[in-house]
Amino acid sequence: MTYGAVTKAVIPAAGLGTRFLPATKATPKEMLPVVDTPAIQLVVEEAASAGLGDVLMVTGRNKRPLEDHFDRAAELESILAAKGDDEKLALVQQSTDLASVHYVRQGEPKGLGHAVLCAQAHVGREPFAVLLGDDLIDPRDPLLKQMVGLRAEHGGSVIALMEVPRSQIHLYGCAAVEPIGDDPDIVRVTDLVEKPSADEAPSLYAVIGRYVLDPAVFSILEKTEPGRGGEIQLTDALRVLADSTPAAEGGGVIGVVFRGRRYDTGDRLSYLQAVVQLACERDDLGPELRAWLKEFVSTL
Ligand code: G1P
């Protein structure tokens, strides 16, 4: 059996970003720079390099800067071209050339599951990826490409998992799993719980923000009642796909245990850590920053 190719990516970006106020009063949190590149651009780059050239952003009010960022900037481009500053011109054009970016509005903040449901008309009956912008995956560890490959092989849906300490599992969706073959990092998901307490967690496998979903998820999301936090949870819909939807109807969920480099930009501390870590690795900034950091740390 062959399964259709994945060509579309959905990026939920309607959140208010209240953890970063006041920076996010008039600027979407997705535009906060990771060193010098807006976090959302890194996510679109990841989708594009996994072969997903069609990107749908699920946005809300005050998200105009996202549209501007992926659009041409004619005035700026002609000024840079007239100056002959090809390097900066390439930086301006980079985001426009990555993918074909589309937008739909979520309207009401009813949760991640609801945001994904807003993508239904654009996605149609094809499998699609969902990328959450708070999680950055290092391009040297191509997780999404691997997930797209697993979907092509097995059908159904594929989610990314990461082992976390028990003290952190309440921050994530959590998956119960069983082995399916020789590779211990490719598993079948048998159950899912959104943000369980440490005692209730069925495992220490946390769901991280990369999904490849069968379109069967849409009809389940339509029926999914609000769950944790009063929101329609994607995790709850995936649980139905994992547990009680036959494979012939798009059921079955595979988990990939990710052991590569992931950066969390969802709260202030981890955002700062991600920026410092990534800047330290850059050829242009790294050497000076590392030397300065060593000296600075010795004074603390
Ligand atoms: C969302 C999901 C959760 C997942 C997490 C990954 O939660 O609901 O299952 O583990 O993303 O980052 P959020 O962090 O948006 O509250």
In the numeric block, which tokens belong to residue 173? 């969706």
Ligand 1 contacts CB of residue 236 (under 6 A) = no
Nearest to 54 by CA among 105, 6, 4: 6
What is the CB neighbour count within 10 angstroms for residue 157? 29
Residue 162's SS3 state is strand
Nearest to 137 by CA among 242, 27, 237, 9: 9
pLDDT tier for residue 3 given thresholds of 50, 70 and 90: confident
pLDDT score for 250 = 87
Distances (CA, A) of 89 to 27, 43, 82, 284: 23, 21, 10, 18
51: phi > 0 → left, psi -120 to 50 → alpha, else beta; which? Answer: left
pLDDT score for 1 = 60
What is the CB neighbour count within 10 angstroms for residue 8? 23
Does this model's pTM top 0.85?
A: yes
Ligand 1 probe mutation, 11, 172, 233, 267, most atoms within 8 A of CB: 172
Ligand 1 contacts CB of residue 208 (under 6 A) = yes
Q: Report the chain's terminal Cα–Cα distance, integer Å.
A: 60
Q: What is the mean pLDDT of residues 64-76?
A: 96
pLDDT score for 2 = 66
Identify the helix (H) or strand (E) that includes residue 143: helix 143-154
In the numeric block, which tokens belong to residue 7? 């060509």
pLDDT tier for residue 145 given thresholds of 50, 70 and 90: very high
The predicted-structure confidence for 106-141, as pLDDT tens digits, reads as follows 999 899 999 999 999 999 999 999 999 999 999 999
pLDDT score for 144 = 98
Q: From CA 107, how far away is CA 171, in angstroms rounded?
A: 25
Share of the chain above pLDDT 70, in %: 99
Ligand 1 contacts CB of residue 205 (under 6 A) = no
Identify the helix (H) or strand (E) that includes residue 8: strand 8-12
CB 165 within 8 A of CB 43: no
Q: From CA 7, how far away is CA 97, in angstroms rounded?
A: 16
Burial-class residue 48 by CB neighbours within 10 Å (0-12, 13-18, 19+): middle
Give, in words, the CATH class of 8-266: alpha beta
Domain boundaries, the chain: 8-266, 267-300
Q: What is the mean pLDDT of residues 10-14?
A: 97
Would you say residue 61 has pLDDT above 90?
no
Q: What is the mean pLDDT of the chain?
A: 95
Would you say residue 24 has pLDDT above 80?
yes
Atom 13 of ligand 1, nearest CA residue: 172
Ligand 1 contacts CB of residue 173 (under 6 A) = yes
Amino acid at 227: G
pLDDT score for 240 = 96
pLDDT tier for residue 300 given thresholds of 50, 70 and 90: confident
The predicted-structure confidence for 223-244, as pLDDT tens digits, reads as follows 999 999 999 999 999 999 998 8
Q: What is the mean pLDDT of residues 14-21?
A: 93
